[in-house]
Structure 1
Amino acid sequence: MARKKIRTTNAKGEASQADRNGVTGARKRNGTASTGRKVQCGRLADMPKMPLDILVEIFSLLHPADLVNLARTSRDFRAFLMSRGSAPSWRAARKQVDGLPDCPPFLSEPAYANLVFFTECHGCAAPDCTDNVVWSFALRCCAKCKGKQLLQVGSIGRKLVSQLQEKTRGKVLLAARLSSAGQYYYHRPEVDRIRKLWEGGFSSDAERLQFYACAGQNVRLRREFGIALSRWVADENARKSAELRLLQDGRIQEVERRLRDEGWGKDLDWSSGAALRLIKQMKSVCKAQKLTDREWTTIRKDAVQVVEVRRGYRLCEERVEELRPRLELLSRVVAQWEKAQDSWSADTDWYPTFTDFALAPAFRDCIDVSAETAFEDDVLLKMQSHMSDLAARWREDRKDDILKMITDALGSATPDDVDPLSLAVATFDCVFCPHKGMRWPQVIAHRCARWRELVPVKDESLYYRRAVIACERRGRWHMWDSEAFVFNPSLERSRAAIKACGEDPDTAIYEDMERCGVRVFCSDCQRRCEALDWKMAARHEKDCSASFQQLNAEDTAKALELEAFQQSQAENARLADADLVYGCRRCRYHGFLADISMHCASVHKINLKTVKVDVDYYLHTDNPPHIPAPIRIYSLRRRQAVLTANVAVEEKAAFVSSYI
């Protein structure tokens, strides 16, 4: 194979080109070949060749930080700007900064500019060192270098401190703080210098006095310099903050102006500027930058979404004001109907409220008409005689809602010849409170279905929101909503318990299960065996496998006898339980025992001492379903604590079984 020809170049031309490109002789000696590229020179590459008087004039117009950066660009600039002859240029540049204190005698102009305008650590050049800054020491350091540069006041040898304070009254060492509430520090290099001089001694009294005078003067200069520079920094920060606030306010005002130009002014002013306050909190709006057209296209979408929501609220508010006389008339009609009731009891706890009636189609068609349509009060007043029928219709509608929840949960397992509401498994748990195992019609009397904050909104129509606003202004409950309930979460365990009782879980009726008299026990609970009815078994420990077995006739009889005793005790206690809800016999108010007593006394003028149950108040439907405590079973076949068993049996809370 023929050898590849090697390209030759003019050595002299290559050398001259290398010299022009700045290639050193060492690089050529190392044998590194030139790439032949043309080196791009910087914009300031020819600046050092300018006349000196022009450079001095340019330097005097620059900022001190610009001079420091310029000195870092090339050796020529560094050599000139670090020389003593450049001091006038540094002083002229410093005059460009308003209010900046003069350079102290213990600092050079470049060091002063670096201290004030750059945040690098003076020890390791770490960036963004703004926490550990002591102007009196002309020091800026990072957290790692803090221990090398600063020394706590109490960490210096007591002998040295006492001698210094005794001889010089503490004027040769300057102590400073990092913050107004922080501890005092000494500058470690200064401490080391003073210690070396002090321990080395002085050749004469004159030398010692001169040392005291110079050290004291240095302390005064540094303290005055630190105070002056701290004030300037604080003023400068305040000025910058004011400028940023001005830019931020201008940006917000520009956003507001553009929204008003698009016709959103009334919505921005509604509710004391609620929409505008939300827009001001948006990160894209509250920037300290001037708003551009390109940014506005991004901001506008989010801002308009906020204003559109407030516009919907404003329109609702305006419409509520139009409907207010009609809703107030309906409120009076409902109040008269409630007042006409002979006596309130558990059978009337399900009655619909003002908001429920307001959403009923019969009243909604009368109320929710345009302002131009003539409205006559007689239309609502005539419907007062049909309130009971409308209430019954409302109850049937809620019944359909509950039936739908049952059929959706059971699916094909729902029997055709049995009312789904009567099924033993047809129970409901509240999403918001501990009420579990509720049945129809208790669910329509439960308070959580009307809580304002908890019930989710399904109907987003304007009329719904108007009715909500109206009922909130009157302190009324919201309309009833089935979203507050979940269908039997323990369905599988309930089916297992019913099956263990010998009934079909798909067709078992609640009343039949209550009368069956069968008791079961969990075969998994070896240490704590209990006699359970079907409801107790459905709520049994979730860790168990729901393997229930029937008790024999003898043990079942014992369990039923003890349950009857406990039930008689519980019924008497429930009539005076302070944690239960009671209803007023004279109105639809309901509350706890203390609340219902005060209500009867303050509203119905009944003597507080004579308020009686079943006369002035009754046990309200909206209480947790009563599930008695299970009866404990002690087995003769297993080793049990005899003393515990005897005590439990004597208290009629357990029995001993020879079967288990």
Structure 2
Amino acid sequence: MPPRIIKRSKTPMVSAGLEVRNTRSRTRSGLQDSDMLNMPMDIIHEILRHLLPHDLLSLTRTSKAFHAFLMRKSSAYYWKQSLKQVDGPLPRCPKELIEPAWVALVFSPICTACGKREAPHVYWSLFVRLCKTCRPQLVVDQHDLFRERGMDKIPKDIFVMSGRGYCLRSEAQEVIDTWKGLSKSRNKKALEQYVQGQTQHVKKLAKFQESCEGWFGYSSIRESERLEGERFEFVDSKLRSLGWGAELKFLGRGSISRGLLSVMRNYPLMNTHGPMTERRWRAIQGEILECMQEIREERRAYKWESQHPELWAYGVDMDDIALTPEICEIMNRPAKECVHQHSFMALQAQVGAILEGWRSRVCNQLRDLMRSTMRFPQNVDPLELAATTFRCGDCVQTCLFFPNVVAHSCQRVRSSVTQQDTYPQSLQDIMRPFLMRLREYKLSEPACQIVRFCGRDPETTTAKEMDALDIRLATQGSAIMTWRAAIIEQTQSNHDMSVWRIADSTDTANAKKHESKIVQNNASWSCRKCIPPCLHSDLEEYLEYHHGVAEKEDMTPVFSSRDICANSAYKLRLPDFEVVKLIDRDQSCTGTD
């Protein structure tokens, strides 16, 4: 129903037929009641029609003039309008109550009997809130009621009861008197009609109570969420003022909802009722700042990791960084020399060079291993050859590609070798840096067979050149795979080369389509548009939200070093192109860890 049209008038409320006395009290905002009462009626009308029910109820209690005005029958529109603004499935005002009484029952915590004490529990089907003092006087427990003499003859389902099994004494007595009167009159038909009508009335109120309790539960949850949000906003502002903005951004990528909330829910004082106060903040400040310090370290580690996604395949982590010469130089300084946080922060600009130095040293170790048993042309980097694979010295894996071999778990174990310097020696029991534990290098004949089958020379063809061929290999129609997966397959099974074939264009196109889905589902993505580059898991959501585009040209897929996708070693079963895991005869995953 459209709002009732009210003729605009400049007549103040005090002149609209209302008697106003003693209206000099002040509201919380500092305004006197008379200030608002002297406003034109059209302004008051616009204010009232936008108030929420509990605000309207509070206004009726500010002065006699407002109470008289809002309790008029003609003011019912304001109450109905306010109820429409309530969030959630609040039932309509029952016919037993007028709108102001319904609002008071729902939103006022005051006892409806005495009007003085708080009564948090509502007896919805009885339309009352009762405090502990008034409850024994006005309601009776159903067990006490039916314990009385003669009550066993009266049907229980004609009594209106609350969810906790209470009846209003006055209503229960009225039902008892009516039933006894009809029983004595021997009017069986009238008694049956009364019982039937009363039973339907009870069922209707029971359904009404269920709806009210459903809304009350929903409202309580929303209120708890609102207070929780305010508490976390308070903590968020405190942390930002203390210089933790970068950590908060790292946690939630600009929003506290996904990051700070998940961290701070562990603190009991963050989950108590009521708003966060300065006193509560002081009680938890120390613990939260310790937590934020840990997050700061995590952010710094993530920063250098996300800026160098090309090193993911090497499995580089903080254990490797901690043992670089630059860090060891600081840690091995004389005891008299002060070493603090700023000593390490001075290396921040050199992180790229430190990581590159570590990568270069690791690669040289692998090259030395290869050249100790084989000769390679001087203009060829043996690590770049397509036929280069390594065999683990501790497990059954015999087809480890470069650079993923560096991330293999057997190459990252606690060191038992005695170190000359004190600092590395003290960390050998807790850190797992790269320590080469490979078998003597031997040229892989299965790898050479696959490279030759593709029409290339295994002694000079690089992995990049094999990738550029962009072909897929198949085995007698049973599976289709990339050239790296074919090397793993040939290493495991030693097929006769006659079973291999170059896949046709149709199967190759379908295989690429399914491989793209694997990449989409498993990769993190490095964004070139972000400065510094950042890693993201949800590609489309990130591009749309941060850059307003859905193109993927500026995104590079990055895989965990232990992911089979990191090698681009895909094997798909034909004809359904279902992914097949690469497992060797010893039931150990080959190619990755």
Which structure has the larger Rg?
Answer: 1
TM-score of the aligned structures, taking structure 1 as reference length? 0.35
TM-score (normalised: structure 2): 0.38
